Amino acid sequence: DSGVTQTPKHLITATGQRVTLRCSPRSGDLSVYWYQQSLDQGLQFLIQYYNGEERAKGNILERFSAQQFPDLHSELNLSSLELGDSALYFCASSVGSSVTDTQYFGPGTRLTVL
Amino acid sequence: GNSVTQMEGPVTLSEEAFLTINCTYTATGYPSLFWYVQYPGEGLQLLLKATKADDKGSNKGFEATYRKETTSFHLEKGSVQVSDSAVYFCALRDVQGSSNTGKLIFGQGTTLQVKP
């Protein structure tokens, strides 16, 4: 158990819908990262927050957005869903954002868009 | 840009065989390097890491050495077990310009199957 929690574990929805994925980092960690794992793209970085502020953006679609709240939990919002958004979404956390900080991953949320 | 390349899988070995999974990287500066493992139906777990050249990371019998001259971080284990069957990801920790974002860049993953 990494100490990072993600809910829900599974999500099945239809095209055009909007969903929210939630992540609680390890106690004391200030950085939260979101990654998408799909069969065709592999594991890709989406976005990072550090202590409530956006720190970096990766290959995140405009239909996707995220935020980190004062209690440091984070939410990833996916809207106007398409079939291609079906994937495993991981959250990770680390103490800071130093290159030597270890990122600890949650169990993931499996999103299926029908 | 920075990238990680892993050997193609799946890799199929008999129990107690020697394992090598090759990983090479392209990066500017001095990234940190990681191996993560993903067991079936689970999230990623950190297996080992190395933060500077010539560092050797080790854990649970797995080892990898940060080789800057060959830009490699190959994963090795002397004697694999059935329980080692999983997907292994090599990753580097990216330093973006003057802002240390710390995002991970992953290889495509290598599936290891160990047969009794």
Res B29: pLDDT? 78
pLDDT tens digit sequence for B88-116 = 999 998 765 545 567 899 999 999 999 99
Helix (H, G, I), strand (E, B) or coil at A83: helix
Judged by CB atoms within 8 Å, which residues 26-85 of A form the interface with B? Answer: 31, 33, 35, 42-45, 48, 55-56, 58
Residue B34 to residue B73: CA distance in whole angstroms: 8
Residue A25: is the preceding peptide bond cis (ω within 30°)?
no
Question: Could you tell me which residues come within 8 angstroms of residue B102 by beta carbon, excluding any fewer than 6 positions away?
Answer: A31, A33, A48, A56, A94, A96, A97, A98, A99, A101, A103, B93, B94, B95
Q: Is the pLDDT of residue A97 over 60?
A: yes
Helix (H, G, I), strand (E, B) or coil at B83: helix
Q: Across residues A83-110, what is the average pLDDT?
A: 91
Res B95: pLDDT? 65
Res A20: pLDDT? 98
Res B78: pLDDT? 96
> CA-CA distances (angstroms) from residue A19 to A110, B22, B59?
12, 38, 38
The encoded tokens of residue A13 equal 């929805």
Res B28: pLDDT? 81
pLDDT tens digit sequence for A22-51 = 999 999 999 999 999 998 888 999 999 999
Identity at A61, one-letter amino acid code: L
Q: Is the pLDDT of residue A94 over 80?
A: yes
**Nearest-CB residue to B101 (from A2, A90, A97):** A97
Q: Is B93 on the interface with A (CB under 8 A)?
A: yes
Which candidate, B6, B27, B77, B68, places its Cα nearest to that of B48? B77
Res A46: pLDDT? 96
Mean pLDDT, chain A, rounded, equals 94
pLDDT tens digit sequence for B13-71 = 999 999 999 999 998 878 889 999 999 888 899 999 998 899 999 999 999 999 999 99
Q: Is B110 on the interface with A (CB under 8 A)?
A: no
* Whether B101 and A101 lie within 8 Å, measured CB to CB: no
pLDDT tens digit sequence for A61-71 = 999 999 999 99
Q: Please name the residue of chain B whose CA is at the shortest distance from the CA of residue A107.
A: B43
Q: Is B9 on the interface with A (CB under 8 A)?
A: no
Residue B76 to residue A30: CA distance in whole angstroms: 33
